[in-house]
Structure 1
Amino acid sequence: MKEKYTAVILCGGKSSRMGFDKSKIKIGDKFLVEITAEKLENIFDEVVFVAENKYKFGNIKYTVLEDLKKEYGPAGGIFTGLNYSSSPYTFFIACDMPFVNLEYIKYMMNFTKEKKFHVIMAHNGKDIEPLYSFYSKDLVPYFKRGIDSGRLSIRKIIEGTNIKYIPETIKEKYDNSLSMFTNFNYKSDLDNIYGKYTQD
C-alpha cells in the first residue's frame, strides 16, 4: 500500500515587516500560496493551509485549518497540521517561501521511508530550515508539551529527537542558486517574486 503524504503551508504570522498579510499576496488572480500548493500537489496526496481564520482565503479549493493554538507562531501551526494529518510524515513550508523545489523535497521524502527519524530537515549554511521539513506524527505530544509550557522555539521542541539533517552539499546539487529557501519579509523583496513568476 502506497504511503500517503500531506503538505501543510503555514499562513499565519503578523507580517509586521511587510506591512500587510503576505499570505494574501496575489500573482494575477491567484493567491501566491495557491500557486505554491499547486506545485506541491505534484508529489503530495493532499495540501492544506493553516491560518488563524479558516475563512481567510474565501472560496478556494484547499482545506484551510484554523489554528488549534492561536498566537503560538510556527509551533502552533505545526501542532495543528500534525493533528489534522493522517500521514505518518507531513511536510511543512512557510507561505513566504514560493520557490518550491520538488526534486529536493522528494530527496528528503526518501528518508521518511526508513521510519526512524522524527524530523527530516535541511541545513542552510550554518542554519537550519524548520519550515522546509518533514515532521513525524509522533511529534504531536512534543509540540503540545512545548506550547503548554510556553516554549515555542521549534529547535527546543524537537531537541533530543532523532533528526536527519540534509547537508548543504545536497542542497547545492538540486539548487545552485539556493533560491528554494528564499523568503520575503519586505516590500522590496516582492520584485524578486514577481520577476521570477513573470519569467516563468
Structure 2
Amino acid sequence: MNGFVLAGGRSTRMGRDKALLPYAGRPLIAHAVDLLKMAGVEPHIVGARPDLAAYAPVIEDLHPGCGPLGGIEAALAASSSELNLFLPVDLPLLPAAFLRYLLQRAEISGADATMPTWGGGPEPLCAIYCRDLLAGIRESLASGNYKVMHAVENAVRPSEVDLFSVEAVAATRDDWPLDPPLRRWFQNLNTPAELALVS
C-alpha cells in the first residue's frame, strides 16, 4: 500500500513553511514520513515541493491551486496500489498505532473510503482512499468543487464510505497510546500558537 503526505499547502496562517517547521528536533515532514513507514506503507510526498525529495519521492499536483483535493488526485493517479493512505503534514501527535488500525479497517471493510471522525466531524485528509475514486474526484475538480468531503461523497455511494468515531473505537482498545492524550491526536498546526502548544 502507498502512503502520501499532503504537503502542498501555502501555510498562510502559520506565516512560514509548515513542512520544514521544527518539531522535537526534526522537520514536520520527517515526522510525517516516519509515521507512514511505521504504519507499514511506502511513503510519498504530494505537492510542488522538489526541496522535500530528500525525505521521500515527491509527486507534483496535476492541477495546482486546487488545495488538498488536487494533491489527492495526483496521488491516486500516480499510485500503484488499490488502497492509499493520506496524512497531512501537520499532525505530529497522531500515533502510528492509529494509522495501522486505519489500514486494517480499510482492508477488512473493502470500503472505497475509510475515514475517521473526531468530535463528530470527519477528518478527510487523514483517510484511506481507493484508487477507483479518481474519476469522481476529477469530476469535482473540473466543476470547481475543491472540498475533499464533498468530492468523496460525490465520487461514491454512501454505503461505500466507512466513517467511524475515533472516540468510540478508542474506548474498545487497550493497545493505543495514552501519551499524547486522544484529544490531541488530530490537533492541526495551522498557527504559531498551535505550534507552541506541542513544542
Same fold (TM over 0.5): yes
Bin for the TM-score computed over the shorter chain: 0.7 to 0.9
**C-alpha distance in structure 1 between counterparts of 2:128 and 2:20, whole Å:** 24
Q: Of 60, 67, 73, which aligns to 2:67?
A: 73
What do you get for the CA RMSD once the two structures are aligned? 1.9
Alignment partner for residue 48 of structure 1, among 37, 44, 63? 44
Residue correspondence of structure 1 range 116-131 to structure 2 within 5 A: 116-131=110-125
Deviates more, 1:10-19 or 1:171-180: 171-180
CA distance in 1, matches of 2:2, 2:190: 26
In structure 1, distance between residues paired with 2:68 and 2:78: 15
**Which runs of 5 or more residues in structure 2 are unaligned?**
none
Count, aligned residues: 188
In the TM superposition, what are the counterparts of 1:172-187 in structure 2 within 5 Å?
Answer: 173=173, 174=176, 176-187=181-192
TM-score, structure 1 normalization: 0.85
Render the CA deviation track for 1:22-71: whole Å, top value 9, x for unaligned.
Answer: 11213477422112211320223310001123x232x5141011111100
Task: Tell me if the contact between 1:51 and 1:64 (Cα under 8 Å) persists in the aligned partners.
Answer: yes
1:109-167 Cα shifts (integer Å, max 9, x gaps): 12322463111000111211001110001001011111011111112111143100122
Rounded to whole Å, the distance in 1 between the matches of 2:189 and 2:143 is 30
Instruction: Determine helix, strand or coil for the equivalent of 1:135.
Output: strand
Alignment partner of 1:32 out of 12, 23, 28: 28
Aligned with residue 141 of structure 2, among 139, 147, 155: 147
Structure 2 partner of 1:134: 128
Tell which deviates more after alignment, 183-192 or 109-118: 109-118
Could you report, residue by residue, the CA deviation over 1:160-191 in whole angstroms, capped at 9, with x for unpaired residues?
A: 43100122311455454322211111112222
Q: Residue in 2 aligned with 1:22?
A: 18
Q: Is structure 2 residue 152 aligned with structure 1 residue 158? A: yes
What CA distance in whole angstroms lies between the structure 1 residues aligned with 2:25 and 2:152?
38
Q: Is the 8 A contact 1:142 1:158 kept in 2?
A: yes
SS in 2 for 1:37: helix
Moved more, 90-99 or 19-28: 19-28
- Determine whether 1:86 maps to 2:80: yes
Contact 1:79/1:143, CA 8 A, preserved across alignment: yes
Q: Are residues 108 and 61 of structure 1, via their aligned partners in 2, closer, same or farther at CA, if it must alter by over 3 Å?
A: closer
Counterpart contact for 2:30–2:55, Cα < 8 Å: no
Stretches of structure 1 lacking an aligned partner (at least 5 in a row): 195-200
